[in-house]
Structure 1
Amino acid sequence: MGITLDLRNARAADVHVGRSALAELMSVLHILAEPDHHPEAQRWTRQLGTTFDDSLANEMSALSPLWARLRCRLLFPLALPLDQTFEEELRHLEKLPLDEFVDLCAQGVLGFREAVPPARLLLDDKEAARCYVTQCERRSFRRGALAHDLMASPEDVRARLIDFLDRCGGAFFAAEWRAVHDRLEAAVVRFRTEVTRKGLAEVLAGLSPTAVVAGDGSHVRYDKLAIAEIGIGPRQLFLLPSVHVWPHLTIKDERSYPVVLQFAAPEVRAPEQLTLRQLHARLSVLASPGRMELCRHLLGEPITTSELAKRLGLDDTQVSRTLRQLREAGLIESEREGRYVYHRLATSTLLRLGQDVLATIMR
């Protein structure tokens, strides 16, 4: 499974790197909607929650289908230029033709890669609208309620959404955007330079540890649940660095619009992002009762191979083999002191393992 970017026809003029305040706000709202999926941000989200009044919190919940899972294409840049102000992005949303708004919003409310009837059919055919609302209700009550509102009055939903986003700006996001603005500007400058210096395939592959370059540099594949091949050139690609998107790598592929790839700015990525192979190796190593028993002995003070063998009633060769497996998985640390090599459990790695599992699944 995965999403592949086909770069055979990509030109420098097709690739644009920039910031989007609205897309960054959506990343923040995504974390607030699914805090259990972002344990690294729990303290920050608790502090942020104190800035919401009941009205803002209730509307955040009601509109959350737009950013809780699939992330609505409506809230990413739809056209050039990038780096518009937050207010300019809201005005563009306000002026978007109603058919376009409904097309993008309806897919976002459903929050799943299933076919959604075009806006004109939804707005003109009551049976098509009813079936769409039922489709959303099967996913969740909240999605069904928002779908019903969208079919009843799309202009009202648009006005609610813009008002909510504007209120978020006043309540907390304007300050947050000022705090991250310069960091994102540095990331934009860096990636513009790297696309020119290194080439597009190498830069895109560096955005995720799951990325694989194939076809002599003409294709880059990301490990995602969706399966798709997306051509770049003449279709445009928007690269949007983000402070809050990690551990996700978000790729949006609505056919009538530029492809969007939102990625974590380098300085906010985790120090170590595991590949699926590395994660599988760590979990497999710990699945053995014998290796788990050995880990218990490594938890205290550093210990030599021969001492471990003596405690476990095994020969040195067996213990050395097990230690090598643990070391290759990054679960033990070994250090020579004089004549002996001492081993200890990498407790910080083990403590991170649960978060690593979640982050790898979520990418």
Structure 2
Amino acid sequence: MSIVLDLGGLGPADLAVGPSALSELMASLHVLAEPEHHPEAAGWAARAAAAGPELHDELTVFAPLWARYRCRLFFPRALPLAASLDEELAAIGELPKDDFLELVAPGILGTNAQPVPPARELRAGTAVAEDYARRCLRRSYARGELARQLMAAPLELRDRLLAVLRNADTAFFAEDWRTLRPALEDHAREVRRRLAALPPGALPAGSWGTSAGSAPISLLPQPPAGGTPISLRSPADVLTELLPTAARVGPGERVRLDKLQIDEVKVAPRPLVLVPSARVWPHLTVKNEHPSCVVVQYAARGTSLAGQLTVRDLHHRLMALTSPARMELCRHLLGEPITTSELAARLGSSEPQVSRALRTLRDAGLVRSTRDGKLVRHRLATDVIQRLGHDVLATVAR
């Protein structure tokens, strides 16, 4: 399963690289909402939670916007990139009501698998709005409540959300950002340097940002008239260098990203924005909602932790992950507790097939099952996966 980015037709002016304070705040809030995804950040999460205990209830209310699914509201929507968190929050505060609804409603539902009605139809009391609220409620009580508040009073909800984000900035993020930002800006400059460099061993050629017959566009000074044009490293080359799971596919400027979703994204004529992050690991986030720019938020750096296992347990657990079907099952189990029947529906498999795969994973200690009334829900044991290695957890979590 993967997302393929078609980068053909992008010029240098269409590609931006830089940190976003709002996106980094969202990644930080995700760590607080889903600590099981980020055992390596347990120390930071404990310190952040202790710095703002009074925020706990409000962060819990809005957690659907940054827990399993990252709301589009928290990513750059156009160029140029904002210079500060205050600037990004001010832009949210200036959004027209329908634009805010359009950006937030999919985040509350929290899945790309179900369509979200256009903002003009999400009016409290209408059949369309009630159906949307019911679908959110089926996913969780918190999502259902947030959906009803959004439709009843979107601007009031926006003001409440902005207050929570500003309070989180004051409580713990501002100090964290002062530490993280310089390294992320250095990383972005290095990426821009790569984009402005000749490919290793390549002969000078036309710019990567042009179509056949068009004049070359370059970030570098061009030679005198009649000279040989300067070549830039293509965005596809740089993207595959930045992202360990990215690979070029087929002809042209196409890059495959290993993700749970299946999609093919034609980027041009929209810009592509690469947002390095210190908190997003092991996730890789791709946002493709029209008409906003395409955004890829990725880990600018990783962390490594040592773990110990017996040889027998290691063998047992690794063997349980050798099946592609069980690996796909693990990806679904990472996001939220799921019943056997829901897993079967998502995967297009029979319940007995899913039960057998779950039993293998549970026997290996990779899945935990809990009873919720008449239902049994299953979830990945991320702490066990973490001890197998960062590569295993990162592969499952993409």
User: Shorter-normalised TM-score: what interval?
Assistant: 0.7 to 0.9
CA contact (8 A) 1:19 1:83 kept: no
SS in 2 for 1:206: helix
Residue number in structure 2 paired with 1:71: 70
Distance 1:260 1:242 in 2: 12
Partner deviation per Cα, 1:263-301 (whole Å, 9 max, x = no partner): 111x435599xxxxxx99x924998xxxxxxxxxxxxxx
Amino acid at match of 2:85: F
SS in 1 for 2:68: coil
CA contact (8 A) 1:247 1:269 kept: no
Partner deviation per Cα, 1:123-172 (whole Å, 9 max, x = no partner): 27621111110010011111111111111110111011100001111111
SS in 1 for 2:70: coil
Residue number in structure 1 paired with 2:302: 268
Structure 1: any 5+ residue segments left out of the alignment? 273-278, 288-349
**Deviation of 1:356 (Å):** 3.7
**Deviation of 1:209 (Å):** 2.4
SS in 1 for 2:43: helix
**Deviation of 1:358 (Å):** 2.4
Sort the Cα spacing of 1:235 and 1:351 in 2 relative to 1 into closer, same or farther, 3 A: closer
Q: Does 1:173 align with 2:184?
A: no
SS in 2 for 1:263: strand
Amino acid at match of 2:84: T
Quick check: which has more Rg, 1 or 2? Answer: 1
1:182-261 correspondence runs (5 A): 182-197=182-197, 198-261=233-296
Residue number in structure 2 paired with 1:98: 97
Residue number in structure 2 paired with 1:49: 49
SS in 2 for 1:78: coil
SS in 1 for 2:51: coil
TM-score computed with the length of structure 2 as normaliser = 0.69
* Bigger Cα displacement from structure 2, 243-252 vs 188-197: 188-197
Q: Identify, as 1 or 2, the structure richer in helix.
A: 1
Amino acid at match of 1:142: A
Amino acid at match of 1:16: A
Sort the Cα spacing of 1:187 and 1:141 in 2 relative to 1 into closer, same or farther, 3 A: same
SS in 2 for 1:79: coil
Residue number in structure 1 paired with 2:84: 85
Distance 2:47 2:240 in 1: 35
Count of matched residue pairs? 293
Amino acid at match of 2:138: R
Residue number in structure 2 paired with 1:110: 109
Give the RMSD, CA atoms, in angstroms: 2.4
Distance 2:305 2:195 in 1: 23
SS in 2 for 1:135: helix
CA contact (8 A) 1:212 1:221 kept: yes
Residue number in structure 1 paired with 2:328: none
Partner deviation per Cα, 1:312-355 (whole Å, 9 max, x = no partner): xxxxxxxxxxxxxxxxxxxxxxxxxxxxxxxxxxxxxx984155
1:110-189 correspondence runs (5 A): 110-113=109-112, 114-123=114-123, 126-189=126-189
Sort the Cα spacing of 1:97 and 1:353 in 2 relative to 1 into closer, same or farther, 3 A: same
CA contact (8 A) 1:210 1:223 kept: yes
Distance 1:124 1:362 in 2: 36
SS in 1 for 2:122: helix
Structure 2: any 5+ residue segments left out of the alignment? 198-232, 307-313, 323-384
Distance 2:19 2:12 in 1: 18
Amino acid at match of 1:268: G
**Deviation of 1:58 (Å):** 0.2
Sort the Cα spacing of 1:162 and 1:217 in 2 relative to 1 into closer, same or farther, 3 A: same
TM-score computed with the length of structure 1 as normaliser = 0.76
SS in 2 for 1:123: coil
Distance 1:258 1:40 in 2: 31
Distance 1:78 1:124 in 2: 27
